[in-house]
Structure 1
Amino acid sequence: MNTSRFALVAFILAPALLAACTQEQQNKLGREIQNWTGTNGVLEIYAGDKVVRRFLNIDKISTALGTDDGKPRAYRYGYGVLDENMNMLADAGEKKVYFEISDYTNAVFFESPR
């Protein structure tokens, strides 16, 4: 089988195989791919239409799970560099910090354009 035919078959079969996975299996696969490729995420927190906090160099944001019941909690957490001067750069003196955001926080997470 030549390379282009193999690529076509893989392209056609991949969605079917992915659809057969449970949502949790798809999430785990997505995290493994994301962790393997790496990310350079930015999290912006808004108060109205104004950015009030920005975290840089985030590799992932995780959902908190209950200790006893294992159920998802209403917040997310992660680690990122607090962009204190809001210039989209991790400057000297700006440190990596732990953060938590509730499900009700006005926030946008995106891959850094830099």
Structure 2
Amino acid sequence: MKRLVTFSLLALSLSGCTQEIQNKISRSVQNWTGTDGVLDIISDGKVMYRFIKIDKLTTGSATGQGGSGESRAYRFGYGVMDKNFNLVADDDEKKVYFEISDFATNYVFYENPN
């Protein structure tokens, strides 16, 4: 019964939040629980680069006057560059920072199926 009341209170409090606030809460929970994301960078129908062990992709935000925080047209994150495309972080593959543009890049981000 206590769990039901707690869940009901949580649901009621979230229903009063804007969609943006709900998304931020969802992302923070996802970051807390962790994920095993894979990012494929595609050109001419072929995977050119693959990053694995990604916990999140973050949208760039403007930091200009007034602190508007507007979204920018790129994503960034940290992941292991999977040189041999085997979905495993091998000893010679290191974690790197990456950025991808929404304008010039085709990419697919998904959970590692292994």
Q: TM-score range by the shorter chain?
A: 0.7 to 0.9
Q: Which moved more, 1:88-97 or 1:62-71?
A: 62-71
The equivalent of 1:112 in structure 2 is: 112
After TM superposition, list the pairs within 5 Å mapping 1:1-114 onto structure 2.
1=1, 6=4, 10=7, 14=11, 17-68=13-64, 69-104=68-103, 105-114=105-114
Q: Which segments of 5 or more consecutive residues in structure 2 lack a partner in the other structure?
A: none
**Deviation for aligned residue 1:17:** 4.7
Q: Deviations over 1:50-85 (max 9, x none)?
A: 111100000001011112142111000000000011
| TM-score normalised by length of structure 1 | 0.83
Aligned-partner Cα distance in 2 for 1:2–1:98? 44
Q: Which moved more, 1:16-25 or 1:94-103?
A: 16-25
Q: Deviations over 1:14-66 (max 9, x none)?
A: 3x654431122112111111012110000001112211110000000101111
Aligned-partner Cα distance in 1 for 2:25–2:77? 19
Aligned-partner Cα distance in 2 for 1:50–1:97? 22
Provide the identity percentage.
Answer: 56
- Paired AA for residue 109 in structure 1: F
Calculate the aligned-residue CA RMSD, in Å: 2.3
| TM-score normalised by length of structure 2 | 0.83
Which runs of structure 1 show a deviation greater than 3 angstroms over 4 or more consecutive aligned residues?
16-19
Aligned-partner Cα distance in 2 for 1:47–1:19? 41
